[in-house]
A and B are shown apart, each in its own frame.
Chain A
Amino acid sequence: MSLATMFIKMGDGFGKTCAIFFLTLLFSLPLGMLVALLRMSRNKAVSYVTRAVISVLRGTPLMLQLLAVTYGPYYLFGLSVSRNKLIPVVIAFSINYAAYFAEIYRGGIESMPVGQYEAAQVLGYTKAQTFLRIILPQVIKRILPSITNEVVTLVKDTSMAFTVSYQEMFTIGKQIANSQTSFVPFLVAGLFYYVFNLLVDFVMGRAEKKLSYYR
């Protein structure tokens, strides 16, 4: 197989890699905020349950979670395994990443000086206004480098979808490598991920720069 054919075949799968990547960010970034708020809830029960869930999600392999979400419904309820593997893959990734994002959000929110809340309160801001206008924008600036870290990891983690044979780029690369007894597809895959991450770095760097207008 020529290198060009390899690129084309794996490029086909790259669309699916991107689908996992963007859909996961789309769902996990807001879901993570919800989880962070539950984790910080004044209701002890809510806070503890959330903490336990985060602990399990962070403490077990993403691969295992992928398998559980994809095949769990079959083993537990006898439901047929969904044809479109994208759905369980995105669900598993979103939940897993939400747990990580939640802890980043929480760290950021808890690092905010109490004086910011007090100033807003005395001026008559509601709790929602205080959070959305005063706290959140500053938190985003603080946590952006940690978010970038997770996003870079997510790019590479998409390759784990091969465990449930979702035909994304790495799964295809692996199949070609097996059939051609060649290591080259892995190098091609590595190149794809690396270039993707260069792009991620560039975009996130721009975002950080945009927020550097204040200290």
Chain B
Amino acid sequence: MRKLLEINHCRKHFDGMEVLKDLSLSVEESQVLSSIGPSGSGKSTLLRCATLLETMDGGDLIYDGHYAARDNGQRAVYAPPQELHQIRNMFGLVFQNFNLFPHYSVLKNIMEAPMLVQKRNRKEVEAEARELLSQMGLADRADAYPYQLSGGQQQRVSIARALAMNPKILFFDEPTSALDPELTGEILRVIRSLAEKKMTMVIVTHEMAFARDVSDYVVFMNDGVIVEQGDPREVIDHPTQERTIQFLRRLSSQ
């Protein structure tokens, strides 16, 4: 299987606090990987390092064989901006808070980056954007503005916006955490249907049942390291590490 993402020996600290400690991880084509763990475990920081929103102190970051960062034995050395620009084209990110552009219509939110960044032609991009919107069940909201949509609808638009760039790999940063409980289902359904279409995804989530259901691989993080990883049914239903058992027990007792 082709490795689309590889992170080797990633280190990251904030103000002297080690947030990620020599962490390694790889994602294969068509794989759905979920990252679970308590808040402060470093799972969001890991995702931010992977999406180039944070820089790693040390380690390699490799997308489909292309080095975004390479460890020189002391620290992570990042590729020049032009190469990083190319690498950003390989992945998409869905934020917890959607981060749609409020001054753009739904359609423009989706269409601008493919036209502006990938220089694709308007007709083709618009057809694709409308197709994505109808997949998201939002075909009739193309001309709406984000403030006119519910949280769940906004999140679906932001998924469409990410998909319009045709990423090889799609990251989700707690995609349902900002939503009312009754709206999480619609987002989880969208992600599940993407998984069925063999979209490669990395999902940071608190939804245990969902992580078990949809992912091929799960990593449990705590204190900046991966404590336990593997098949989701194994890790979530039969954890072997004390820290994982505690965490899952606390979740299920809520």
Contacts and interface: CB of A to CB of B under 8 A. Distances in A.
Answer whether A and B are interacting partners.
yes
Interface of A: 113, 115-116, 118-125, 129, 133-134, 137-138, 141, 213-215
Contacts of A125: 113, 116-117
B147 interface: yes
A192 to B, nearest CB: 37
9 contacts: A118-B95, A119-B100, A121-B53, A121-B88, A122-B52, A125-B116, A134-B101, A137-B103, A214-B145
B60 interface: no
Contacts of A113: 99
Contact of B53 (A122, A134, A213, A214): A122
A116 B161 contact: no
Nearest to B87: A124
Interface string B99-139: 11111000000001100111000000000000000000000
A133 B108 CA distance: 12
Nearest to A115: B99
Interface of B: 51-53, 85, 88-89, 91-93, 95, 97, 99-103, 112-113, 116-118, 145-147, 161, 165
B53 A123 contact: no
A153 to B, nearest CB: 28
Given A118-B99, A119-B100, 9 more contacts: A122-B53, A122-B92, A122-B93, A124-B118, A129-B116, A133-B116, A134-B101, A137-B103, A213-B145
B103 A124 contact: no
Given A124-B88, A124-B165, A115 B103 contact: no
B103 A122 contact: no
Nearest to B165: A123
A214 B117 contact: no
A138 B51 contact: no
Contacts of A116: 99, 101
A214 B95 contact: no
Nearest to B158: A119
Nearest to B85: A124
Nearest to B81: A126
Contacts of B53: 118, 121-122
A215 B102 CA distance: 7
B93 A215 contact: no
B117 A124 contact: yes
A120 B112 CA distance: 10
Contacts of A133: 112, 116
